[in-house]
Amino acid sequence: MTAFHVMAGASEHFVRPVVRKVGFADIADALKLGLRDFREKPSHYVFLCLIYPVAGIFLTVWSTGANLLPLLFPLMSGFALLGPIAAIGLYEISRRRESGEDTSWRHALDVRHSRALPSILAVGFFLFVMFIAWLLVAQAIYTAYFGETAPASVSSFLSDVLTTSRGLALIVLGNLAGFAFAVVVLATTVVAFPLMLDRDVGAAAAIDTSVRATIANPGPVALWGLIVAALLVIGTIPIFAGLAVIMPILGHATWHLYRKLVVPAR
């Protein structure tokens, strides 16, 4: 049954892959290996990652209307919550490179043939729900401080947010809420998508493994999250174009982090 398969995987039993303890040096090594994969075959990365910066630009342009200005930052920052699934093709390229298979760019789309596709879609839907929930929370926080009235202009909006006590409270509370969402997404998906590509364990088992890996390695996983956040911010400069480089490096590095955190199946 498809629903059961999504939860338990192909074996129809709830599998709990063994997780390892890693150190901060392993995080650095995963990034190094991700950079190596990026350098190996860079020709297809523009294809894989162009959607991400273009979508970011679209969100920015779409939000320039005064009535949407309060959602500009939540959209830009919250879009990173979808990063784990946006990079799934990169995990597949690294998996194929590791096993000595053809790494042509077209294989990044091979995930559509994966037996774990229902599970992947289920976790992807979870991320989408988190993204929408973050936007709703961000809007509610803004409304609590500034009401339902839309900003009169970009300058007045920036003035209200950056130079008033209400604006300061909005920034602090908004960032705390965003941090909470980011922590939940990181803890539940840090190895989920690579694991489902590697082994059809089911969505529930993939999330469970991510949570256990996070609990076993709070410091390294927190460092990983901070590095990802920092690089994504850097990647938005200028005009999101840097994400065409940052995303593939992080995507490949995530695969190698998965290999370090989860013991291979026997």
What average pLDDT does the chain have? 84
Better-scored residue on pLDDT, 12 or 30: 30
Average pLDDT estimate for 46-64: 59
Please tell me the number of Cα atoms within 13 Å of 177 on its side-chain side.
22
Which pLDDT score is estimated for 29?
97
Model pLDDT for residues 91-121, shown as the tens digit of each residue: 888 888 888 776 676 666 667 777 888 899 9
Please report, for residues 113, 120, 191, the alpha-carbon distance to residue 9 in angstroms, rounded to integers and kept in the order given. 15, 11, 16
Which pLDDT score is estimated for 225?
94
DSSP letter for each residue of 72-131: HHHHHHHGGGGHHHHTHHHHHHHHHHHTT----GGGGGGGGG-TTHHHHHHHHHHHHHHH
Contact predicate 31/246, CB 8 Å: no
Distance (Å, whole) CA 232 – CA 227: 8
Which pLDDT score is estimated for 151?
83
pLDDT exceeds cutoff 90 at 75? no
Lowest mean pLDDT among 14-18, 53-57, 170-174, 259-263: 53-57
pTM score over 0.75: yes
Would you list the domain boundaries of the chain? 2-261
Distance (Å, whole) CA 231 – CA 2: 37
Least Cα distance to 37 among 87, 110, 77, 75 occurs for: 87
Better-scored residue on pLDDT, 245 or 126: 126
Model pLDDT for residues 192-223, shown as the tens digit of each residue: 999 998 988 889 999 999 999 999 999 999 99
